[in-house]
Amino acid sequence: MSDDHTFIDAQGNEMTGKDIMRVGWAGYFEVFPDYYIEIEQILSEGDLAVAHGCAGAGTGEAAWKIPAAWRAIMRDGKIKLWQVYADTKIQFESIKHEGE
């Protein structure tokens, strides 16, 4: 990630800064330690890349897998922007059920 990295989640929330994202991703991987991304196709031009596929986590009844797409902008070999497009209802329901 670039020092001024920006992450935009599926709800449009933006977080900027490499250090903030390290904390954010650490928290996400605490909740979903086996989170994965499966890329089906990548299209790129210059510093822009877009990809689609799926994301998921969990095993058994707790498992979830959703269609997703991502947009990345590179600067000097580092990711300046990472944006996620997905319906995150399944993840939020998973988090809600863990707290019950």
26-64 pLDDT per residue, tens: 998 998 899 999 999 999 999 999 999 999 998 888 788
- pLDDT for residue 24 is more than 70: yes
Would you kindly state where each structural domain of the chain is located, as residue ranges?
A: 6-99
Q: What is the topology classification, in CATH, of domain 6-99? A: Nuclear Transport Factor 2; Chain: A, (3.10.450)
Query: What percent of the chain is modeled with pLDDT above 70?
Result: 88
**Mean model confidence pLDDT for the chain:** 90
Sheet architecture: strand order including 78-86: 14-16, 6-8, 78-86, 64-75, 48-57, 36-45
pTM of this structure: 0.81
Residue 94: pLDDT band (50, 70, 90) is low
Distance CA 86, CA 69 (A): 7
